[in-house]
Every structure is written in C-alpha cells, then in structure tokens.
Amino acid sequence: MLSHSRFNPKTGALDFWHEFRKPNPYRWPILAASCLPLVVIFAWLSNETHYKEPARPTVTYITTLDPDRTDEEIMASNLENQEVKELREARAEAIAERKRELYKALGRATGMDVEEIERRAEEERAAEQAAAEAAGAEQDSGEGPAQ
C-alpha cells in the first residue's frame, strides 16, 4: 500500500537522482546551497560547551593570630588597637583643624566675614551630629518607620 502512495520517499529519491544526473552546470552549486542551512543548523546545535565543576574551596582560618591565645592576651591586643585608633582619630582632627585655620586665614586675606562662616559651619556640624545621634537612638530603641 505504501509503494502506491504519493508520499513514498523511494519515488522522491529516484526523481531527485534522475534530475540530478542531468548535465546541468548549476547542479553542484544548488546542492551545496541546499545543504548549507542543514550544516549551519547542525553546527549551531552541536556547539555545546560543558564546564567542569569547580573544585570545592578549602577553608583557611585566620592564621596571623595564635589560636592558643588567652582572653587576657586578646584584651591587651584590643586595647593596643584601640589606642592606635584613637591616635589616628586625634591626628585626623588636628589636620582638619589646621585646614580650618588655613581657610580662615585665606578668607581674612580676601575680605570675607570669617566669623559668620565659622558660625554657620558650627551650626551645620551640630545639626549633623544631632541627626546622627537621633538616628542612632532610633535604631537602638527598635522604633522606626512602619514598613
């Protein structure tokens, strides 16, 4: 029954072979152009990349500190670090004060009202400090804007 059907692939293949064997100068370019989309599609589909799973990292703990330190040694180290921090903050404040003095001298030399500018700057610093303290107190109390 299939051999009498119009959808029989055998008759289609025979018809193709009969037409392809005719001496036509364009038969090879036409065959190449006909195969090109299939080659492109198969090349695109077969171009899969599989990456190897990365190796699990090994955990390295902080090795700069002695793991057998006592609580007293830890507290002494923390106090030393706190002193260094306070010295750095004091140095930064001294540098900021020196800058303010230099800007005041520059302002006086150019005829600006240095006292008025200083008063405004102090008000701004006080407002910023009050806002920071209020935000810290609000955060500590757990009260905040409803979300």
In this prediction, residue 147 carries a pLDDT of 44
Token digits of residue 67: 């793991």
Work out the angle at residue 114's Cα, subtended by the Cα atoms of residues 113 and 116, and round it to the nearest 5 degrees.
70
Nearest-angstrom CA–CA distance, 140 and 134: 10
* More reliable by pLDDT, 59 or 87: 87
In this prediction, residue 8 carries a pLDDT of 80
Question: What is the pTM assigned to this prediction?
Answer: 0.42
Nearest-angstrom CA–CA distance, 58 and 80: 32
Work out the angle at residue 54's Cα, subtended by the Cα atoms of residues 48 and 60, and round it to the nearest 5 degrees.
170
CB contact at 8 A, 104 and 114: yes
Q: DSSP character for 5?
A: S
| Terminal-residue alpha carbon distance, the chain | 76
Q: Which tens digits make up the pLDDT trace of 3-46?
A: 667 778 888 888 888 888 888 888 889 889 999 999 999 998 88
